[in-house]
Amino acid sequence: MSETIYNRIAMLRAERGTSRRQLAEALGVHYQTVGYLERGEYSPSLHLALHIAEHFEVPVEVVFSTRPFPRLGADNSA
């Protein structure tokens, strides 16, 4: 069973001005792996997911979810 893991890696990278290559070097993975992760084409191991969260200094739930993240800038008022 293959379930989608949603992530905010690209958003976090953009906020910090980090390239895919820079993130990959910090994580010890190939830069293409970062692209696969961002596009949802590859789900990270638990170890890699925790390492990514540590790198961005946020809880893992901020980076990854089993549900789509709310769209930024969406009107949440009712």
What is the per-residue pLDDT for 78?
45
For the residues of 15-51, what is the DSSP string, one character each? HHT--HHHHHHHHTS-HHHHHHHHTTSSPPPHHHHHH
What is the per-residue pLDDT for 37?
96
Name the residue type at position 20. Answer: R
* Chain length of the chain: 78
Residue-wise pLDDT tens for the chain (78 aa)? 458 899 999 999 999 999 999 999 999 999 999 999 999 999 999 999 999 999 999 999 999 999 999 886 655 554
